[in-house]
Amino acid sequence: MIKDKIHIYRAIIILLGIFAFGPLWSQQSKVQNLITFDDKPYHFGYLLGANQMLFIVKTNANSFKVETNLGFTVGLISDLRLGEYFNLRLLPNLQFGERTLIYPSEDPLKLSSVLLNIPLNLKIKGKRMHNIRPYVLVGGSLSTDVGGNARNNNNDNKNDFLLYRNDVYIDTGVGFDFYFNWFKMSTELKMSYGLSEMFLSGGINNPWADSWIDGLKSKVFQFNITIE
């Protein structure tokens, strides 16, 4: 858990550095690029990013731990202009990641996931400062695990799965748009909070897990770079 927090803090520090030095960079840029870009009724792009899949676990085992590794995200962008400061964004993407559950006196259980996400986010933009513009994101997403350890609840092999396949997320994020000569690039931090109970306890053949997990929900931390 400490290692996970270090990764998150590093990403936050990087983005805060962009917040601090972005206005200075924009002031030094004399020429405004892509002046009419934000006036387009719609446009498209793609995103690449790093993610960290986390669990919010309710447990009665003090020595229960969750370890995560950095994964990666690839996706597409469809952007609809709603007004000067608002855009509606559909961002279908694939997230590849892995989490490890460590139980007392049991072998670690690795849970790999390939999440197909369909986020619908409202992008609320600040005022443009030469070639930089801050924004925040709010919205939600639907997610299904198309690979890895998630299975439907009619499977009784304890080594195959632990999680339900589908989830619903609330999304929040913050970032910056950077305007270059031929394209716009954005960097953003995004957090997605799962609303569904993911632990598949009913009918599962792993009583050792049932006895230690009272509840489990997903959380995904992302650092994305978009090109539009």
What was the pLDDT predicted at 22?
52
Residue type at 24 in one-letter notation:
L
- pLDDT of 155 higher than 70: no
pLDDT over threshold 60, residue 139: yes
Residue 40 has pLDDT above 70, yes or no: yes
Q: How many CB atoms lie within 10 A of CB 182?
A: 6
Spell out the domains of the chain, with CATH numbers in brackets.
2-227 (2.40.160.20)
Mean pLDDT computed over every residue of the chain? 80
β-pair partners for 96: 72, 114
Q: What is the 3-state secondary structure (H, E, C) of 100-153?
A: EEECCCCCCEEEEEEEEEEEEEEEEECCCECCEEEEEEEEEEEEEEEEECCCCC
Distance CA 52, CA 50 (A): 7
Q: What is the pLDDT of residue 152?
A: 46
What is the Cα–Cα distance from 176 to 87, expressed in whole angstroms?
14
Q: What pTM value is reported for the model? A: 0.79
Closest Cα to residue 191, out of 153, 147, 144, 138?
Answer: 138
The Cα 200–Cα 43 span in angstroms is 40
pLDDT on residue 92: 97
Q: Which is more confidently placed, 211 or 74? A: 74
Per the DSSP assignment, residues forming a β-bridge with 133 are 177
Question: Distance between the two ends of the chain, CA-based, in angstroms?
Answer: 35
Lowest mean pLDDT among 15-29, 92-106, 153-167, 210-224: 15-29
